[in-house]
Structure 1
Amino acid sequence: MVRAAPIVVHPPSPTGGRRVTARGQILGLAHSDADVIEFLRRAGLPDAEGLLDDLAWVTWRGGRAHHYEAA
């Protein structure tokens, strides 16, 4: 059985930035990879930098991964 990644970086908002959730809980609005990494560290993932491109951990929805510009 394939499990969904616990972290979702949602599509860019019309005003810029992407909502980040972990298991359905909102962690914040990221405007850069550094923001996402900080949210994940605060959520208890000290090796967050290495997780951004790990499909087992992070799903990037809508738009291209690592892009935060307004939709």
Structure 2
Amino acid sequence: MAAPIVVHRPSPSGGRRVTVRGEILGVAYSDEDLSEFLRRAGLEHGEAAVAADSDMIEWRGGREHQYDAA
């Protein structure tokens, strides 16, 4: 089963689009942004999921936790 949270490849201008089950939550420019999006989406421990490299998060393109322009 695919991870429900997808952090897409960095955009040319920086940041990464974040989706949960196909719904766009926004563009993250840091792990803090990603944690906040997950908290707002109802994942109570979003910060822990990001820090622990949870299997719930699929990082597409680029390195994990890197938000710089591609």
TM-score by length of 2: 0.94
Determine helix, strand or coil for the equivalent of 2:37: helix
Structure 1 runs (4+) greater than 6 angstroms displaced: none
Q: Alignment RMSD, CA only?
A: 0.5
Counterpart in 2 of 1:14? 12
**Counterpart secondary structure, 2:19:** strand
Structure 1 runs not aligned, ≥5 long: none
Asked if 1:68 corresponds to 2:63, the answer is no
Larger radius of gyration between Structure 1 and Structure 2 = 1
- Identity over the aligned pairs, expressed in percent? 65
TM-score after normalising by structure 1: 0.93
